Structure formats: structure tokens, C-alpha cells
Amino acid sequence: MAGELEIENISRETIKLSSPTPNHLRNFKLSFLEQIAPVMYTPIVLFYSQNGDSDHPGEAAKMCQCLKTSLSKILTLLYPFAGRFKDHASIECNDDGADFLEAQVICRLSDSPRQPNANNLRTFLPIEIESMEAVTNILLCVQASFFECGGMPIEVCLTHKLTDADTLCTFIKSWAATAFGAS
């Protein structure tokens, strides 16, 4: 596939925490380095090939439900990602939640570029990396996309004000462990 990837959005919803944030944790103060971090998202796109009967009708819906349930649980542990910026120095951990999008990729995973460039990968992201929403609204945005063959990229964008490479890895590993335990 030499041209642009075509992705059709199917749904968007807000994932809330499985348990409310305790009152004494509702105000999260940013460090100096977090305060001066660029206004942008830290993105990652994780590709998964078809596994067994994943092209079975209803498998995508089942997978999305597992991702949503496990995300809700992990947000309880990483509660600042479900909050909103109060000002430049703190996050109000008000349990507003994270955005979860579901999309369909109009091709097979095997038809996508073998060596994708940055523009191809940006096509998968649920939000623009440099979006002002990174400090005004959504701190975490996730998208589960499904290729026609059953392959699936999971795209995650976390505000850079809270996320470095270590935090991103911790988030992904924790979410995966929770999802694996839930499936």
C-alpha cells in the first residue's frame, strides 16, 4: 500500500475510573520539570497481528471491552491521567476520565507500509501530538483500531507534562498486565 492509510472512526467514549480518587489525592502538584515540559502528547503505537480466531465476529467488540475495563482499573492507580489541569502547576484529579476511541483501518495489516514513516504513524494517533488539549483538556487518549484481517494497533497519547519514557513504559506494562488478567 503506497498511499495514505484510511481510518474510519467508529466510536468515542470517556472511560472513568473503576473507583473514585480519594479526596486527599485530588490535587496533584507538578514538579518544576513537569511545569516546563513542552505542550504535547507522548505517543506510542503498538501493532498486534491476528491471533487465532480474532477475525471471528464479535472478537473486536470483546477486545475493546477488555481494553476499556482494564483501562478503567489502571486509571484508579494512575489517577492523575484521568484528571484535568487546574493551572500550570497542578492537576485536579476530578475523575473526568480518559478518551477511548475505536476505529476501523480500511486495509489489511499486511497491506500497510513495511517501513512506515512518521506521517503514516501519525495517521493512527487519536489526537494531534501538538494539540493544546494536552494541557487544557484530555490528559490521556487511547484508540483501538482494527485492520480488516483482525490485526490491531493500539495507540496511546499521554500528556508530556506527566509522561516521560519511563512513565509511558510503566503505563503500558501496567495496563497490559491488567488486561491480561481480565481476559
Task: Give 121-164 pLDDT, tens digit per residue.
Answer: 777 777 777 777 766 788 999 999 988 888 888 999 999 999 98
* Contact indicator for 65, 183 with CB cutoff of 8 Å: no
Confidence of residue 178 (pLDDT cuts 50, 70, 90): very high
Q: Is 6 helix (H, G, I), strand (E, B) or coil?
A: coil
Question: pLDDT tens, 59-68?
Answer: 778 889 999 9
With a cut of 90, say whether residue 71 has pLDDT above it: yes
In a domain, 133, yes or no: yes
Q: What is the pTM of this model?
A: 0.86
Average pLDDT, the chain: 86
Distance CA 87, CA 135 (A): 9
In a domain, 154, yes or no: yes
* Domain coverage including residue 137: 7-181
Neighbours of 107 (CB within 10 A): 17
CA distances from 13 to 90, 99, 150, 156 (A): 25, 6, 22, 15
- Terminal alpha carbon distance of the chain: 33
Confirm whether 34 is domain-assigned. yes
Q: What is the CATH number of the domain that holds 82?
A: 3.30.559.10
Given a cut of 50, whether residue 2 has pLDDT beyond it is: no
More confidently predicted of 114 and 94: 94
Please, are residues 121 and 106 in contact by the beta-carbon 8 Å criterion? no
127 or 112, greater pLDDT: 127
pLDDT at 53: 52
Is 2 inside any structural domain? no
**Residues 87-106 pLDDT 10s:** 989 999 999 999 999 998 88
Confidence at 181, pLDDT banded by 50, 70, 90: confident
CA–CA separation, 53 and 15 (whole Å): 27
High-pLDDT (> 90) share of the chain, %: 51
Number of domains in the chain: 1
Task: Name the residue with higher pLDDT: 180 or 126.
Answer: 180
Asked whether the predicted pLDDT for residue 176 surpasses 60, the reply is yes
Contact predicate 42/157, CB 8 Å = yes
Q: What is the CA radius of gyration of the chain?
A: 17
Structural domain contains residue 79: yes
In a domain, 27, yes or no: yes
